[in-house]
A and B are shown apart, each in its own frame.
Chain A
Amino acid sequence: MRLKSLLWTALMMMLPATAMAAEGPDTGDTAWIIVSTALVMMMTPAGLALFYGGLSRYKNLLNTIAMTLVAYCLASVIWVLWGYTLAFGTSMGGFVGGFDHLFLNGITVSSLSGTIPTYVFLLFQMTFACITVALVLGSVVDRMKFSAWIVFTLLWVTFIYCPVAHWAWGGGWMGEMGALDFAGGTVVHINAGVAGLVLSMLLGKRLGYGKEAMFPSSITLTALGAALLWFGWFGFNAGSQLAADGVAASAFLVTNTSAALGALAWMTAEWMATGKPTVLGMASGVVAGLVAITPAAGFVSMPGSLVIGVMAGLIGYFSVAKLKNMLGYDDSLDAFGVHGLCGIWGALATGLFASPAVNEGGMGLFYGNPGQLWIQVVSILGTAAFSAIGTLVVAMVTKMVTGGLRVTQEEEIEGLDNSQHGERAFEIQ
């Protein structure tokens, strides 16, 4: 180590001093993105695992946590092997990144992405790949085979997530077209929500769905998970500025406001409709508000976030309490209702409320640029169509590899904790 650093110092001394000063990372930016990366990491195996785990039935709680955890592990390894280069390598026709950074080839400790080391950038992006695939599992808990989930994760991150991330952030067609997606409205939420819907329809409904009571195992865990997601989301949104500056601070502000109003709106809607303000409703509203503000975070000002948050809470409540029953699909934990539909609302709202006073890079309809809304619509449709068709193909391949996506009827009734993992979540006597 020591020899290496000495050699490195000697090499650096040979370079002109001015170049050094210009090319070094910004320490403030770097520190903030390192912290943000850790915050977003926590959202998957802690925030989402508890949020989803508490919502699944008592006999499937551990399986839900296991699927979240294994998704994080797999996606983070895929990312450093071939995922990063597919998303951020030299663009091949605006569709996918090239193989120039396969196995992180060509990236060193001195590589920079903007003002931060490339290692920090790629790690920050890695946490997004991880949470996106993990979000999908909300639609399929209580019935998917664990082995099928592993194969699906591998294929989905590679063939669906990486291209879409490339489109928006890696120099692909969506970014080139001028679509605004600050922290992942299309890439993360619409993508995961649509994938969840397709996968849940392929899997079919849970046994007894609509006939027997399916109680969440613990709303306490779900509320704690929502709080951890909220906490981590500050890194997700404010970190997506990739700098510690005023836009990051503004993103932080609107993120919190939207989450809080999402919870209040959902709570109020539910209170009026069914007479009780539930904790699950508030926790779900938090997530709905966070999802909707994600694409808009670095573009909209505080007043915009008020509308985005309230509408997210109402859309979320309507889609899971009414729309799902009307359409009759079994999206077990509502990945589509909350992430897909609130993500679409957020992407549209970005085209409405993006204010050049916050960020020069975005001007929405209300600031005199109606064309932005159309661009947002195209990016939503493009993402949803690719995600739907891609997920269908990936799921079919998975089905062939693992001999079916779904556990047997016996295993499903017994519960996936025991049938898949040989464990139980609680030992209460």
Chain B
Amino acid sequence: MKKIEAIVKPFKLDDVKEALNDIGIQGMTITEVKGYGRQKGHKEIYRGAEYVVDFIPKVKIEVVVGDDQADAVVAKIREAANTGKLGDGKIFVVGIEEAVRVRTGETGSDAL
């Protein structure tokens, strides 16, 4: 199993969700996060006092899928979240040791 963690622009969340639904992904977890990469922050000036706002709002999407689906999910997210500009985000793939469905106790890919 793999967990795909994608950090994307907030306004792209719906596009990503729909793209994943299209390939049969049935669930995901999202978190509102802040951060910066190459895009850097922006500056705001209040009566001459200049403040640099480093951390920009993003959405983190977490999806856990079977090994066979991981590449397709990454490709779909990349396609849906791409605007071609700095700040489109990052996708990380990590291995998952175990998954358990709370209601039934099923384990492994059956629990996804």
Determine the distance from Cα of A215 to Cα of B46 in the docked complex, in whole angstroms.
8
The smallest beta-carbon distance between A30 and chain B, in angstroms, is 41
B47 near A325: Cβ-Cβ < 8 Å: no
In the bound complex, do residue A274 and residue B46 qualify as a contact, i.e. CB atoms below 8 Å apart? Answer: no
Whether the Cβ atoms of B45 and A274 lie closer than 8 Å is yes
Whether A281 contacts B51 by the Cβ 8 Å rule is no
> How far apart sit A278 and B50, CA to CA, in the bound complex (Å)?
13
Q: Which residues of B contact A324 (CB under 8 A)?
A: 48
0 or 1 for each of B9-44: is its CB under 8 Å from A? (1 = yes) = 000000000000000000000000000000000001
For A276, what are the chain B residues with a Cβ–Cβ distance below 8 Å? 45
**Interface size band for A:** 10 to 19
Q: Are B46 and A216 in contact, with the CB atoms below 8 A?
A: yes
Q: Is the interface of A mostly helix, strand, loop or mixed?
A: helix
Residue of A nearest to B53 (CB): A213
Shortest distance in angstroms between B34's beta carbon and chain A's nearest beta carbon?
A: 14
**Chain A: CB-nearest residue to B44:** A215
A389 at the interface (CB under 8 A from B): no
CB-based contact A334/B47 at 8 Å: yes
Please, how many angstroms separate the alpha-carbon atoms of A284 and B46 in the complex?
11
Cα A355 to Cα B78 in complex, Å, equals 71
Point out the residues of chain A lying under 8 angstroms from B102, CB to CB.
none
**Most interface-central of B44, B48, B53 (chain A CB within 10 A):** B48
**Residues of chain A lying within 8 A (CB to CB) of residue B53:** 213
Question: For residue B48, which residues in chain A have a CB less than 8 angstroms away from its CB?
Answer: 317, 320-322, 324-325
Task: Closest A residue to B50 by CB, please name it.
Answer: A274
A313 to chain B, nearest CB (A): 13
Contacts of B49 in A (CB 8 A): 214
Q: Determine how close the nearest CB of chain B comes to the CB of A51; give it in whole angstroms.
A: 13
A136 interface contact, C-beta 8 A: no
Complex interface bits, B40-74 against A, C-beta within 8 A gives 1, otherwise 0? 00001111110111000000000000000000000
A159 to B49, CA, bound (A): 35
CB distance from A299 to the nearest CB of B (A): 30
A274-325 residues with Cβ-Cβ distance < 8 A to B are 274, 276, 278, 280-281, 284, 317, 320-322, 324-325
What separation, in Å, do the CA atoms of A216 and B52 have in the docked complex? 14
6 residue pairs from A and B, CB less than 8 Å apart = A214-B49, A215-B46, A216-B46, A274-B45, A321-B47, A324-B48
Which B residues are closer than 8 A to A by beta carbons?
44-49, 51-53
What residues of chain A have their CB less than 8 Å away from a CB belonging to chain B? 213-216, 274, 276, 278, 280-281, 284, 317, 320-322, 324-325, 334
Given contacts A216-B46, A280-B46, 13 further A-B contacts (CB under 8 A): A213-B53, A214-B51, A215-B44, A215-B46, A215-B51, A274-B45, A276-B45, A281-B47, A284-B47, A317-B48, A321-B47, A324-B48, A334-B47
